[in-house]
Structure 1
Amino acid sequence: MISLKNKLLKRKRFWIPLAIIIFIYLNNSSMLTKQRAGEPLLLAHRGLSQTFHTEGLKDDTCTAERIYPPEHPYLENTIPSMKTAFQMGADIVELDIHPTKDGKFAVFHDWTLDCRTNGKGVTRDYTMEQLKKLDIGYGYTADGGKTFPFRGKGIGLMPSLDEVLKSFPKESLLIHVKSNDPEEGVQLAKYLSTLSAFRQSKLAVYGGDKPIETLHQQLPNIRVMSKSTMKSCLIPYIAVGWTGYIPDACTHTELHIPEGIAPWLWGWPDRFLNRMDEKDTRVILVAGDGSFSEGFDTVEDTKRLPIHYTGVIWTNRIDRIAPIYHKNLKK
């Protein structure tokens, strides 16, 4: 009798873990979920911009001083570069904003004006009218300062957020709040609240924890993302997502997933994307470990994507990537 009980106990010790493993596999395998169809969406980082080498790159590196020899005439975060990006096939364009002295938002990437422009200091020290007088192409060089191919060509090209939204009334935009100042969240929420519900639905905002939290409290219908919102969604999902449970924090948000982390998410890729679709959450895949806005910028880069991937692809070279998916034929 005791021997029989021991045998049953041993069987349970074997079969229960095996059953759990089988359940986890079946519940998270992309082969056993609804097959996704269609092409990925393309996000053009800063529109169509001049790219640069990333060797030894630091947070305070002046990237305008290390660009590759120009292959096109466009400068990042300008209306011409965004317009061209959409024409080439971008589904979403990302842009950076900073506050100005007169209560507006300037569309500009860097923390200071010193690197790219002939100005000094920060945007909040200037009115939008004064910023328009700067040459945003002043500091670009591909040969260590011997020549400056865009000097004199960027005067008047720094747009305000208002100009961008008026120029692209129906397109999808991803707005980057560069600081962690909660007052910028208040200011941006106040401005975006004046837009129509349709226009708000085509916008998403990401940035520092404090401004994003403030903005979300005042405009909960706008899709947002910060390190805090990412952690609130992904940490519990990684812990128990194998059961199929999706945390409420994953609802109507945005996730920027580095390609090195993505395969460790339960159900990646198809089942994970389906689960996020159910929660109205947008998944954007970024290259490498996600540092310094790495993108899928070459044909070779796209070969690392999962087969039939239909989420969003982050790219710094929409001109190279869109033709792969024939996106440029849709315009």
Structure 2
Amino acid sequence: MRHSLYCMLAVCLMTLYSPLAWSFPAESDPGAAVDTLQQIVAHRGASSDRPENTLSALQRAIELKATAVEIDVRTSKDGTLFLLHDAKLDRTTDGTGVATELTMPQLKQLDAGSAFNKEYANERIPTLGEALQLCRGKINVLLDLKEQGTAYAEAVAKTVREQGDPRQTIVGVRSLEQAQLFRKLLPQAKQLGFIPDPASIDDFAQAGVEYIRLWPRWLDDESLVPAIKRQGVKLHLNGSTGNPDEIIPLLKHNPASLLVDDVATLQATLKQLKASQKVSATLNDLIEKTAGSPLVPGVSGVDTTTFLNRDYRMIAVPKELQGQPRYLFDGGSGQRVELQFKKPTVVFAAFEYNNTGAWSFSQGRSPRDHGWRKLDNAAYRGTSNGTVKDKPHFASIYYCEFQAGQKLSGMPPWWLCLAIMDANAARQVSGFQAGTSEPITVPSTYSYEAEATRARPLHVPEFQNKRQWAQWQETQRQAFQKQLVYPYPGKLAIKPVGAALNRGTFRQQEFAVDHDGQRIFRFFRLAPPSQPEKKLPTIVCFMGHGKVSQILSEPNSYQHACAAQFAELGYLVYAMENVGMEPGSDRHHELDHLLRLDGYSWYGLLFAHQQILLQHVFADPQVNPAKVGATGVSTGGLLALSAAAFEPRIAATSVQGIFGSMRVSFIRDRQRHCHCGAIPGLLPAFDLPEMALLVAPRPLHISNAVSDGFSPAEAKRCIKLITPLYQQVGGKTPEFSAPPGHHEFAFQEALQFFTNTIGKPE
């Protein structure tokens, strides 16, 4: 299980708070968008169900009726083409090292299944020929070419012609030269342009590719999709989970091709959206606008889904409400739902389904106190809270009438929308009495949460010139040091521990920091094995919640062994271990409690250790002091941002999975975060937007994944807030990316950023 700054619910699929819901206008209804989707591509086969890039995964994709499989093609030492995504064997097999340095017989001896699940032990790495033979006549094949060159291309084309079907082949091309070469080698095959950047759209289209892939983070530029379609090229998009929260935002762009790991879930989502097409039109006729929570049209009925983010189903529903339109939303977020009505409308709902109060209105009020009237007693039952003391458990159903212009809001966190009906149609429902209900405004109690999270201006004074700006930054750095950094008294000593570990492309040396002879924390230096006298661009990687192995050696962790990946590319890398998260223990909560009476926190220790490490980094004779970057995800992202804020020598910073206002994400969505993140003394002066301004004008990259705890919308709001000041002092607008998926390190985005700012190792 991934450790992170967030104590996230394992089943949570939600996108965090946004002022917009997923209700589409009629012209871009998600159900209608399903009709434009021509191709479902199983990523590395059905990789959520089977070990990726194996025959088992390909067979599963065929069984699930995907229209294509995507596979990654490499060349073995003896010249055989085989399937593997990573350059190294470590993540997906029981082998180690660079895959292409082994012969095909050696590769065939490896177990390519157990790393996914012991059930698939002894699954083997397939050759490209074996994969094509399995897929021929059954499913299209998208080739992700992991190598370049004419000889490689000719070998791929020859294998396709001999063992596959060129007419069922889609070649993923990454350059115009590759596109032109494969047009000659496989003229019957289609091509998908893996364009390097949006500026390449026209060139790839003119080269004749049939599809162009856009990364989800590029879709913020609303000009790109029309540009592709003007060229007569089809749009390809990448997803992952196939869940509604991920797929619905993609469908609004009407892609022709969609890639996911979980084909079955995608198909279920598409089926649900298609079925909701007529329902959506009905709801759009009744409702002026929606806000507050993601909403998806649905219907009531036995065995239909109750919430977006729970696998709960309806068991018993009155016959008059079966088949009636409704909205689904994330269970637990019902208090955010807002509906404004166009015409007289009746909403039917279930409340008070358990005794926790979560299904009830605030202050223990009855639905009647809010204007709702009971339709039927003990009339709804679902798989959620379906039994009490081994007996069937039912909820009462209520209704409320709304006039044009009125709004539904102020609901409990948990309630169930069972039907939304035209007022005239509602008269046919047994038990409904027109004119007996109306929404009532109940005075609310003072909200400390609303006060804590209300919008505030930046905690930054006005400036007349850069000199005043620099003075403010220095004053803030001193205040941060005094207020938030744990003050270690006594002497510190740094010394290497043991011999350096040879990891092939780099050497890894552990260092220990002692305080008056007692160990306080460790860090690691990852360096190229040769040219010790050469000064190198350097990246300092800070870890998030978890173990330091996640940034050093675990590519399947949410931190993706990012430190090791940078080191493999030739960067000099430093990686700091977070105290309290050493191997075999997690005592960071204990440390946090011990320090809070004195006004510090666990983060106070991390800030202190960060500064000790950075002093060592800039004293390293192999570090190029003009080319030092900092990065990390989650807690590591906060440490990277604070490192750059309080160490002016850091040249560029990539902050991942955490940027936004701490007020918004740690208070409004506090149930999703580890409480150690509520850092005493951080606010208001050092909220993350203010901290980012201490980095200005140096380059800053922000990456919040689509389903991250700090939402992309929140990150962009804060970037917009700080951009005028960033530009005023001579910096560029901070870069932003929103990769697909959940809370994890986006390595490629960080690599591109550091390539452009501190450069590549020579």
Could you state the TM-score of these two structures normalised by the residue count of structure 1? Answer: 0.60
Could you say which residue in structure 2 is the equivalent of 1:174?
142
Do residues 302 (structure 1) and 302 (structure 2) align?
no
Question: How many percent of aligned residue pairs carry the same amino acid?
Answer: 20
**Please, which runs of 5 or more residues in structure 1 have no aligned partner?**
1-29, 51-71, 141-148, 238-246, 288-294
Could you say which residue in structure 1 is the equivalent of 2:132?
165
Q: Evaluate the alpha carbon distance shift between residue 156 and residue 105 of structure 1 in structure 2; reply closer, same or farther with a 3 A threshold.
A: same
Do residues 38 (structure 1) and 35 (structure 2) align?
yes
Q: In 1, Cα distance between the equivalents of 2:34 and 2:91?
A: 43
Q: Evaluate the alpha carbon distance shift between residue 322 and residue 89 of structure 1 in structure 2; reply closer, same or farther with a 3 A threshold.
A: farther
Query: Residue type matched to 2:99 in 1?
Result: T
Query: Residue type matched to 2:260 in 1?
Result: T
Deviation at 1:37, TM superposition (A): 7.7
Contact residue 185 and residue 212 of structure 1 kept, 8 A = no
Could you say which residue in structure 1 is the equivalent of 2:201?
234
Could you say which residue in structure 2 is the equivalent of 1:134?
110
Could you say which residue in structure 2 is the equivalent of 1:102?
78
Q: In 1, Cα distance between the equivalents of 2:223 and 2:213?
A: 16
Q: Name the SS of the counterpart of 1:121 in structure 2.
A: coil
Q: In 2, Cα distance between the equivalents of 1:236 and 1:316?
A: 29
Query: Residue type matched to 2:67 in 1?
Result: D
1:77-96 alignment, distance < 5 Å? 77-96=53-72
User: Normalized per residue, which structure has more helix?
Assistant: 1
Q: In 2, Cα distance between the equivalents of 1:37 and 1:110?
A: 32
Q: In 2, Cα distance between the equivalents of 1:227 and 1:248?
A: 14
TM-superposition CA deviations, 1:161-214 (whole Å, max 9, x none): 111111111211101111234432132123234367xx2121112254365554
Contact residue 236 and residue 255 of structure 2 kept, 8 A = no
Q: Evaluate the alpha carbon distance shift between residue 75 and residue 227 of structure 1 in structure 2; reply closer, same or farther with a 3 A threshold.
A: closer
Q: Evaluate the alpha carbon distance shift between residue 266 and residue 220 of structure 1 in structure 2; reply closer, same or farther with a 3 A threshold.
A: farther
Could you say which residue in structure 2 is the equivalent of 1:257?
214
Q: In 2, Cα distance between the equivalents of 1:226 and 1:310?
A: 14
Q: In 1, Cα distance between the equivalents of 2:52 and 2:76?
A: 19
Query: Residue type matched to 2:89 in 1?
Result: L
Computed over aligned residues only, the root mean square deviation of the Cα atoms, in angstroms, reads: 3.5
Partner residue of 1:222 out of 189, 202, 205: 189
TM-superposition CA deviations, 1:9-56 (whole Å, max 9, x none): xxxxxxxxxxxxxxxxxxxxx89xxx9882523111111224xxxxxx
Contact residue 195 and residue 213 of structure 2 kept, 8 A = no
Do residues 311 (structure 1) and 256 (structure 2) align?
yes
Deviation at 1:216, TM superposition (A): 3.5
Q: Evaluate the alpha carbon distance shift between residue 39 and residue 182 of structure 1 in structure 2; reply closer, same or farther with a 3 A threshold.
A: same
User: Normalized per residue, which structure has more strand?
Assistant: 2
Do residues 204 (structure 1) and 161 (structure 2) align?
no
Contact residue 172 and residue 203 of structure 1 kept, 8 A = yes
Do residues 192 (structure 1) and 163 (structure 2) align?
no
For the pair shown, the structure with the greater C-alpha radius of gyration is 2
Contact residue 174 and residue 196 of structure 2 kept, 8 A = no
Query: Residue type matched to 1:46 in 2?
Result: R
Contact residue 88 and residue 98 of structure 2 kept, 8 A = yes
Query: Residue type matched to 2:206 in 1?
Result: D
Query: Residue type matched to 1:136 in 2?
Result: A
**Please, which runs of 5 or more residues in structure 2 have no aligned partner?**
1-26, 273-762
Could you say which residue in structure 2 is the equivalent of 1:325?
270
Query: Residue type matched to 2:216 in 1?
Result: E
Contact residue 87 and residue 100 of structure 2 kept, 8 A = no
Q: Name the SS of the counterpart of 1:305 in structure 2.
A: helix
Could you say which residue in structure 1 is the equivalent of 2:554?
none
Could you state the TM-score of these two structures normalised by the residue count of structure 2? Answer: 0.28
TM-superposition CA deviations, 1:80-112 (whole Å, max 9, x none): 212212322311110111112333211111101
TM-superposition CA deviations, 1:141-178 (whole Å, max 9, x none): xxxxxxxx43x833242111111111111211101111
